[in-house]
Amino acid sequence: MANFLLRYISWIEYILSLERDVMETRVNAPNILVVDDEIGPRESLRMILKPNYNVYAVESGNAAIQMVQQVEMDVLTLDLKMPGISGIDTLKEIRTIDPEVMVIIITGYGTLKSAIEAIRYGVFDYIPKPFNVTEILSIIDKSIQRRKLNLKVKEVLGTCLHQPLVKDTIIDADFPLQKESTGGTDGKWDGINLSDNQSCLEFAKVLAYTLEEKDPYTSGHSERVCYYSDFISKRLSFSPKDRSELQIASYLHDIGKIGISNRFINKKGTLTATDWAIIKQHTKKSIELLIPLNLSPKLLSYIQHHHERFDGTGYPDGLAGEQIPLGARIIAISDSYDSMTSDRPYRRPLSNGDAKNELMKNAGKQFDPNLVSFFLDVLKEMEEVFLVKDHLRAPAVSY
């Protein structure tokens, strides 16, 4: 009888909470769903978040699934260990209902295995109990902003499916970032359709600028990666089309990071195994975001595999040597060089000379040794022509 009464009271509490949530819903405020079987953390989060958000709270995975089916949520905080359906299984089901909801794991029973499994299903952040109020408010706010950016990016990507493209638009490395349009009267290239005055390359540039403009540590990174990669492609006598594909991939190589908290990307100190598992998801997220554009498989492969290592120990697929697409091998060098010579919150930039030494030290391990030689020749040429100094944007290994 006592157990029945407890279950009955819990059910009444749940019904009343739903009614209270509906009555207090505010227009234009983000919707947050708190999922936790423990009333203490659940109600604490409700009270903390209530002043700024429409907060819904449920005590089980099944209730969470039902709620997501009824109300569009912006953010979901999810406990992993709950009676009945587990947090992981709840997450899997919710992802089939709403792939865009931002998910934050808040749990006192997390393990590396459970964290990595949750990360596979698109978790924005992973926080152990007991949580810090200031931290949780900051992470919730960042997740809301990230969701808005994600939706805006997908909206822009969606508009690209119905507009004509100027063929073989390229950047001339001798005149950085100046557009040059050549050829193309059929208005089609690899299935992409963009307007004449906004080529795919120009779109990629704008998108990269948008993603980087609010972070002083990454501002201009994709532009410089494109600049270095284009120098290498010219040395390798790429065709105009291949060169253009490499430029687009260079601008978009980190687009998947919009789905990952900066708490991990800009973390000071040593990255944990969980941190790395989260960061490594950005290549997969990049492809998911770009598939609607119908970009060529080769271009997408450059983005997907730019963190593979020449010795086969990279990610996401452990490709080695020439199994790694050539464009991905080029971007890997350009990306790492620029990261090494740029300031980051977790370390000071390396000098131009030290960065070169890192490239040489990792030739044949992380990088294609032949391309390292090409790149060092390119840097020498740039130094002679443009008087590149040690302080030029130019740690070792990028994320």
310 vs 139, more confident:
310
Residue 348 sits in a domain of what CATH number? 1.10.3210.10
> Does 133 lie in the same domain as 204?
no
Where does a domain end: 117, 149, 181? 149
Query: Does residue 59 belong to any structural domain of this protein?
Result: yes
For residue 5, the model assigns a pLDDT of 45
Please tell me the predicted confidence (pLDDT) of residue 124: 83
Indicate whether 10 belongs to any domain.
yes
pLDDT > 50? residue 60: yes
Reported in sequence order, the residue ranges of the chain that DSSP labels E, i.e. its strands, are: 31-35, 54-58, 75-78, 102-107, 123-128, 170-171, 179-180
Q: What percent of the chain has pLDDT over 70?
A: 70
Whether residue 334 sits in one domain with residue 291: yes
Do residues 252 and 330 both lie within one domain? yes
Any idea which of 70-74, 126-130, 282-286 has the lowest mean pLDDT?
A: 126-130
Check residues 229 and 201 and name the one with the higher pLDDT.
229
- 68 plus 168 within the same structural domain: no
343 and 251 assigned to the same domain:
yes
| 118 and 80 within one domain | yes
What does DSSP assign to residue 349?
P
* Average pLDDT of the residues in 2-12: 49
Residue 397 lies in a domain: no
CATH number at residue 41: 3.40.50.2300
> Rounded CA gap, 99 and 71, in Å?
14
CB 363 within 8 A of CB 311: no
Strand order in the sheet with 75-78: 54-58, 31-35, 75-78, 102-107, 123-128
Instruction: Assess whether 14 and 98 both reside in one domain.
Output: yes
Other CB atoms within 10 Å distance of the CB of residue 130: 11
Q: What is the structure's pLDDT at 116? A: 64
Mean pLDDT of the 151-176 span: 50
Of 86, 115, 149, the one marking the end of a domain is 149
Nearest to 252 by CA among 206, 296, 298, 217: 206
Beta-bridged to residue 31, according to DSSP, are 54
Same-domain check for residues 114 and 48: yes
Tell which of 96, 119, 149 closes a domain. 149
- Distance CA(227)–CA(177), nearest Å, equals 8
Given a cut of 70, whether residue 228 has pLDDT beyond it is: yes
- The pLDDT of residue 293 is 75
Query: Is 34 in the same domain as 172?
Result: no
pLDDT of residue 194: 39
Residue 92 is assigned to a structural domain of this protein: yes
Judge whether 304 lies within some domain. Answer: yes
Mean confidence (pLDDT) of the chain: 77
Question: Rounded mean pLDDT of 137-148?
Answer: 87
Out of 12-26, 59-73, 325-339, least confident range: 12-26
Confidence band, pLDDT 50/70/90 cuts, at residue 157 = low
Return the beta strands (E) in 151-290 as ranges. Answer: 170-171, 179-180
Q: If you average pLDDT over residues 53-65, what whole number do you get?
A: 94
173 pLDDT above the threshold of 60: no
120 sits in which H/E element: none
Distance set, CA 380 to CA 356, 386, 399 (Å): 11, 10, 26
Domain region containing 191: 163-386
Residue 158 included in any domain: no
pLDDT band at 332 (very low <50, low <70, confident <90, very high): very high
- Mean pLDDT score, 1-19: 49
pLDDT at position 369, please? 97
Residue 79 lies in a domain: yes
Instruction: Name residue, tokens 């941190």.
Output: 275
Q: Is residue 395 in a domain? A: no
Shared-domain flag, residues 140 and 182:
no
113 and 215 housed in the same domain: no
Q: Is the pLDDT of residue 40 over 80?
A: yes
Query: How much is the pLDDT for 7?
Result: 52
Closest CA to 189 of 252, 239, 254: 239
The total number of structural domains in the chain stands at 2
pLDDT for 273-320, tens place per residue?
Answer: 888 888 888 898 899 888 877 788 999 999 999 999 999 999 999 999
Kindly state whether residues 182 and 121 are assigned to the same domain.
no
Please tell me which residue, 20 or 399, carries the higher pLDDT value. 20
The sign of the torsion formed by the CA atoms of 177, 180, 185, 190 equals negative
With left for phi above 0 and alpha for psi between -120 and 50, is residue 191 left, alpha or beta? left
